[in-house]
Chains A and B, each alone.
Chain A
């Protein structure tokens, strides 16, 4: 039973990855743009080589990337590359592959996104649960309200506002970058502290931009749970307020929130990318915008594919650990 469920989810995962890579394959090929020609025409303008050489170079590159083959052969090659996780070679930073570029940037992105997602999830759910809990003190219940009001503000805008008020006006934190100009990356304490200081504002932007949604949905959930018989029963058993809050209230309300987390993964990652480029952090988002700026198509498509696959894999993973959180659910 369980095996069949896992196989079904894996099949679905493959289907998602297949359709995403097919979309990423066909869209650029329907466009009249020729990335290789554009790239080398740009180089020629900057004074690299003569116009006659240009055609030769373009032809050899087209052959190298297989663009002169018939479409179905290209598709087949492309798919086998995707299977081998070969995302192509950067046009702009030539010897480097897309995979190299992603791997260089990925630790920064994972560090930022993982910590902010977890923090926002925990803070938002606690605040939301407290806000809906009738026995919580009044001031504690109203802490949640400002976060709900901030819900319409996406993380990037939050980032711009934080940059202005905290970094520009007050001068408390740096305006961008991942470490101070002039310092050499090392594992020493001053450097790590400096790098951490640069992560505070982007992290704050991401957290403030996403906490409100968790607060709101958790509060709604909490209100419905209050009326349940098992909560009343626990009260009559004489359980303490905190035990009821933790075991009867939070635990039951948390599950739909995990589903919400699955659905929010894609949005959170894309918000993270945009925030990274706003703060000029060396993560995947900055690699993506640099690629967009320099028309490095191979890298753009590679990153898009990489993130799409990551999101799909994460979704299925969360779904598979779901039964561990709720013993009532069996994989079916």
Chain B
């Protein structure tokens, strides 16, 4: 990442890494704002987990249906959850599902994409074919079938992550595949081949480092998709019902007719929390796209 500045030779001081990163973030606004929002959310949950008893996020731990007050800043719900504690724990669980499913999905995608593009032939045809056939199928609906087939008591945060990841590797596979395809025709790969480097050496020493920006972008995209999918499943009533997952809270507020009964604060807190989470991830995603794909850089 070269920053084009023309310092006067007399006072040329090497800039520190931090300044360089900060300068880049000022240019790449969406990445900067997204990361700042995400940092805020991470601070909220970590400090929250330090100062709040996670048990308050579960039913019957607080008086029911209290509007926001000094004691309960976000109010309490019909089942007696302290919604502030529920937000802290719910965001932590959402992050857990997102990062877990995102990491596994990206890993699978990278491995499959590499195998597909590097070895080609019928392996490539098979992997690409499966991806193409599965892509038009609305993923959420298949997830509904999987989640619906599970015993409701057995559904946990980890099952949610697992359900989400089952159908989330196709996107990264296709992205990484196309990148590897174009990269393996580059000269530095031919040079490495001619100098007698093995397949694994080329993959790990030559191609993988060049793919890192794409892998990072795919990872953030996968985290976004996983958070989104688990949220939709929970809003449909398929989440682990006891957990204070953000989608679950909206689902139960809606099924108890929160707005009809005047308990407006109940669905509002999780909705705003989710807006912040998805918004920050979307901004980071856009920023990383710009970083990974310099051609769209500064297109405005």
CB of A270 within 8 A of CB of B232, answer: yes
Instruction: Given A168-B264, A304-B142, decide whether A312 and B137 contact each other with a Cβ distance below 8 A.
Output: yes
Residues of B near A154 (CB, < 8 A) are 228, 231-232, 278
Question: Contact flags (1/0) for A296-320 with B, using CB distance below 8 Å?
Answer: 0100110010011001100100000
**Nearest-CB distance from B132 to chain A (Å)?**
8
Pairwise interchain contact B279-A270, C-beta atoms closer than 8 A: no
CA distance A168 to B262 in the complex (A): 8
Number of interface residues of B (CB under 8 A): 42
Contact A160 B148 (CB under 8 A): no
Is the C-beta of A109 less than 8 angstroms from some C-beta in chain B? no
| A219 to B279 Cα, complex, angstroms | 20
Q: What's the dominant secondary structure at chain B's contact region?
A: helix
Task: Looking at the assembled complex, report how far the CB atom of A56 sits from the nearest CB atom of chain B, in whole angstroms.
Answer: 25
Q: Which residues of A contact B264 (CB under 8 A)?
A: 164, 168-169
Interface residue A19 (Cβ < 8 Å from any Cβ of B): yes
Task: Provide the bound-state CA to CA distance between A167 and B136, in Å.
Answer: 36
Which positions 131-166 of chain B face chain A at CB distance < 8 Å? 133-134, 136-142, 144-146, 148-151
B3 lies within 8 A of chain A by Cβ: no
Is the CB of A175 closer than 8 A to any CB of chain B?
Answer: yes
Produce 1/0 per residue, A270-309, CB < 8 A to B.
1000100110000000001100110001001100100110
Interface residues of A (CB under 8 A from B): 12, 15-16, 19-20, 23-24, 27-28, 30-33, 151-154, 156-157, 160-161, 163-164, 167-169, 175-176, 219-220, 223-224, 266-267, 269-270, 274, 277-278, 288-289, 292-293, 297, 300-301, 304, 307-308, 311-312, 315
Binding site for A on B (CB under 8 A): 133-134, 136-142, 144-146, 148-151, 228, 231-232, 235-238, 250, 254, 259-260, 264, 267-268, 271, 274-275, 278-283, 296, 299-300
Given contacts A156-B232, A160-B250, 5 further A-B contacts (CB under 8 A): A19-B137, A30-B149, A31-B149, A153-B279, A270-B140
